Amino acid sequence: MSAGAGVLSAQDLGSLLNSASSKPGAMGAPLQIIVLLTILTLLPAAIMSITPFLRISIVLHFLRQALGTQTTPSNQVLIGLSMFLSLLIIQPVFRDIYDKAWTPLERNEISSKQAVDEASRPLRIFMLRFAREKDIQLFLEVTHSRPPARPADVDMTVLIPAYILSELKAGFQIGVVLFIPFLIIDLVVASCTLSIGMVQLPPVMVSAPFKVLLFVLVDGWNLVIGSLVRSFYQ
């Protein structure tokens, strides 16, 4: 019996690899690894930009600055809270992406291109709910793109920056509304300390306990977080 019986020779193995790589749409293992690493690199930026994380993190940082508590809660706590709230809100979208794109792709029922198309639909529907028409129109003009016949036809390259811009505006609007009551407390305390001649005592040191006490008495965390989460379900 020859040594090559039952075992692929080098020539047979080379021809097999060449035939596999010559198939239309085939992607080699090194290229798959590069694509996967690229996706993993962009994943944190995507989570921070195209999920509710953007609005929630901006509002929470505004709130901490309005309270004047400096580093309490810490950045890690605010980011963690924003992350878990974002996962709670975006969970139905991720479930649709998993059911309609990832699961059929694992079963080889659809191609990778079809999986990308199916995955983009739930995400597009979510972002269209919060992207302002004015922002979408801005990026359509910047990219010289033809206006879509219907909202579902908006290209993701236009929709994603429009959604980010809309979320930035919404986060700043909510942050300013939260800032006003605490600003009023600062003004009242500053006028009182100046009227009694306490010039050397910073008004912020006096107003900080009152702001924290007011925030605790009205159960501020429950009100702020509840209002933020409900704003994504309207």
State the pLDDT at residue 66: 86
Separation between Cα atoms, residue 88 and residue 60, nearest integer Å: 17
Q: Which two tokens stand for residue 147?
A: 């206006």
Amino acid in the structure at residue 79 = I
- Label residues 10-45 b or e (16+ Cβ within 10 Å = b): eeeeeeeeeeeeeeeeeeeeeeeeeeeeeeeeeeee
State the pLDDT at residue 172: 92
State the pLDDT at residue 142: 86
Please say if the pLDDT value at position 18 is more than 60: no
Average pLDDT, the chain: 79
State the pLDDT at residue 169: 92
Please say if the pLDDT value at position 223 is more than 70: yes
Separation between Cα atoms, residue 155 and residue 140, nearest integer Å: 9
Percentage of the residues of the chain whose pLDDT score is greater than 90: 6
Average pLDDT over residues 36-51: 78
Average pLDDT over residues 139-154: 81
State the pLDDT at residue 44: 76
Q: Are 135 and 166 in contact (CB under 8 A)?
A: yes
pTM of the model: 0.75
Render pLDDT for 162-211 as a digit per residue (tens, 0 to 9).
999 999 999 999 988 888 888 888 888 878 777 777 667 677 777 788 88
Please say if the pLDDT value at position 234 is more than 80: no
CA dihedral 190, 194, 200, 202 (to 10 degrees): 0
Render pLDDT for 69-106 as a digit per residue (tens, 0 to 9).
877 888 888 898 988 998 888 888 888 888 887 788 77
Q: Which two tokens stand for residue 24?
A: 């239309």
